[in-house]
């Protein structure tokens, strides 16, 4: 594969794919580097109802595929590889990946975010064996059995509502005394008889044999310990930006997000960032796509 490009985009979610559509359509020789499935996080959404242009909604997987198809039509090239670092030269940037190194004049970083982990005993051991980070992907495996959801934000409560369609019981465990989810989502959850709430509580350990059997809990105010028999535990405690490979290269905020101006420019000329990876991103497919378009337009101006 050709190793020199005018623009290299890291990450093939809505931000990267939109950036790729714009740069390719502007006839810039562009390469998209994606480490997993093209489409990004949105592929996990069973149904996306808030992406304009689809009045009946669309599956997240299909939306990702269509975005990729549209960008490819204008010449965007894609390679499946993980970006592991960037070396800054005078005029060029070298992107290091698991499939070799690539040179670009401008770089758009759109590597998004991934689910945060609890970091407790049993979590890693039982991942895929009862521990999940995506109810949309895995809920159907938990028919007529009790499951737990850890978290209290919009994502966690939306996952609990989805799980209630399959599981016998859904216990939401949240470390604070109130949920953080928006009122409309909370109201839906309170009206769902299968959903129960354990507030002021945390999970200390996940236990089982081949698969998850129970979780150990601690009441935050009293310190009282208990155990709960569940077949699954869905962890939804926020997102971690995928910026580990950029440490020491770009300034990041304390949570690891990239700081940009409203042209999506970072502190380093020729390096742009777009989507969920940015500080203060609204973390939606449409805002990520908007950032991608903006980054591509200013990358084009930078190259001109
Ligand atoms: C279950 C679920 C449901 C959702 N539902 C909706 C919804 O209904 N409406 C909505 O607007 N939003 C929804 N979202 C949020 C939306 O998916 C995100 O806001 C959006 O995908 C962010 O786009 P992005 O391109 O910035 O990043 P991402 O979608 O996170 O894409 C980043 C891509 O970069 C890749 N990557 C990461 N690191 C590297 C690396 N080092 N090298 C190469 N590639 C890398 C990743 O594999 C990924 O494909 C949902 C999210 C989830 C998880």
pLDDT single digits (tens) 262-298: 999 999 999 999 999 999 998 899 999 999 999 999 9
| CA–CA dist 90, 132 (Å, integer) | 44
For residue 1, pLDDT beyond 60: no
| CA–CA dist 38, 299 (Å, integer) | 22
Query: Is 244 marked active-site?
Result: no
For the segment 175-218, what is each residue's pLDDT rounded down to a tens digit? 999 999 999 999 999 999 999 999 999 999 999 999 999 999 99
Question: Which mutation among 43, 96, 109, 111 tests ligand 1's pocket best, with the greatest number of atoms within 8 A of CB?
Answer: 111
With a 6 A CB cut-off, is 33 part of the ligand 1 pocket?
yes
Could you tell me the distance, in angstroms and rounded to a whole number, from the CA of residue 221 to the centre of ligand 1?
Answer: 36
With a 6 A CB cut-off, is 31 part of the ligand 1 pocket?
no
Residue nearest to atom 5 of ligand 1 (CA): 45
Query: Is 137 marked active-site?
Result: yes
Question: Which mutation among 10, 13, 22, 273 tests ligand 1's pocket best, with the greatest number of atoms within 8 A of CB?
Answer: 13
The 3-class SS string of the chain reads CCCEEEEEEECCCHHHHHHHHHHHHCCCCEEEEECCCCCHHHHHCCCECCCCCCCCCECHHHHHHHHHHHHHHCCCEEEECCEEEEEECCCCEEEEECCEEEEEEEEEECCCEEECCCCCCCCCCCECCCEECCHHHHHHHCCCCEEEEECCCHHHHHHHHHHCCCCCEEEEECCCCCCCCCHHHHHHHHCCCCEEEECCEEEEEEEECCCEEEEEEEECCCCCEEEEECCEEEECCCEEECCHHHCCCCCECCCCCECCCCCCECCCCCEEECHHHECCCCCCHHHHHHHHHHHHHHHHHHHC
Could you tell me the distance, in angstroms and rounded to a whole number, from the CA of residue 11 to the centre of ligand 1?
Answer: 9
Could you tell me the distance, in angstroms and rounded to a whole number, from the CA of residue 40 to the centre of ligand 1?
Answer: 4
Could you tell me the distance, in angstroms and rounded to a whole number, from the CA of residue 283 to the centre of ligand 1?
Answer: 8
Residue nearest to atom 41 of ligand 1 (CA): 83
For the segment 242-271, what is each residue's pLDDT rounded down to a tens digit? 999 999 999 999 999 999 999 999 999 999
Average pLDDT estimate for 150-172: 96
| Residue 134 pLDDT level (bands cut at 50, 70, 90) | confident
Average pLDDT estimate for 97-106: 96
Average pLDDT estimate for 7-17: 98
pLDDT of res. 93: 96
pLDDT of res. 136: 78
Query: Is 138 marked active-site?
Result: yes
pLDDT of res. 137: 77
Q: Which residues contact 190 (CB under 8 A, 6 or more apart)?
A: none
Atom of ligand 1 nearest to the CA of 159: 1
Could you tell me the distance, in angstroms and rounded to a whole number, from the CA of residue 217 to the centre of ligand 1?
Answer: 31
With a 6 A CB cut-off, is 236 part of the ligand 1 pocket?
no
Parallel, antiparallel, or unpaired: how do β-strands 201-208 and 212-219 relate? antiparallel
Atom of ligand 1 nearest to the CA of 277: 26
Question: Which mutation among 9, 14, 15, 40 tests ligand 1's pocket best, with the greatest number of atoms within 8 A of CB?
Answer: 40
Could you tell me the distance, in angstroms and rounded to a whole number, from the CA of residue 142 to the centre of ligand 1?
Answer: 25
């Amino acid at each position: 594969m050709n190793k020199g490009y005018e623009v290299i985009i890291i990450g093939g979610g809505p931000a990267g794919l939109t950036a790729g559509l714009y740069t390719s359509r502007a006839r810039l020789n562009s390469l998209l580097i994606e480490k997993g499935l093209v489409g990004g996080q949105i592929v996990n959404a069973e149904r996306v109802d808030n992406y304009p242009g689809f009045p009946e909604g669309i599956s997240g997987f299909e939306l990702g595929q269509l975005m990729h198809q549209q960008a490819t039509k204008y010449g965007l090239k894609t390679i499946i590889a993980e970006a592991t670092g960037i070396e800054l030269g005078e005029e060029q940037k070298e992107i290091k990946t698991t499939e070799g190194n690539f040179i670009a004049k401008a770089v758009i970083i759109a590597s998004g975010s991934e689910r945060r982990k609890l970091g407790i005993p049993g979590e890693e051991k039982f991942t895929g064996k009862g521990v999940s980070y995506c109810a949309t992907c895995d809920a159907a495996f938990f028919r007529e059995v009790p499951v737990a959801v850890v978290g209290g934000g919009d994502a966690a409560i939306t996952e609990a509502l989805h799980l209630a369609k399959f599981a016998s019981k859904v216990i939401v465990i949240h470390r604070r005394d109130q949920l953080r989810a928006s009122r409309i989502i909370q109201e839906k959850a309170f009206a769902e008889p299968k959903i129960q709430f354990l507030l002021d509580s945390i999970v200390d350990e996940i236990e089982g044999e081949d698969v998850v059997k129970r979780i150990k809990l601690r009441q935050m105010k009293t310190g009282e310990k208990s155990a709960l028999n569940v077949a699954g535990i869905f962890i939804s405690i926020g997102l971690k930006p995928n910026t580990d490979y950029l440490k020491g290269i770009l300034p990041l905020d304390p949570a690891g997000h990239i700081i940009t101006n409203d042209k999506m420019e970072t502190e380093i000329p020729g390096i742009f960032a777009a989507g969920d990876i940015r500080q203060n991103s609204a973390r939606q497919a449409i805002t990520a796509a908007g950032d991608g378009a903006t980054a591509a337009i200013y990358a084009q101006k930078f190259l001109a």
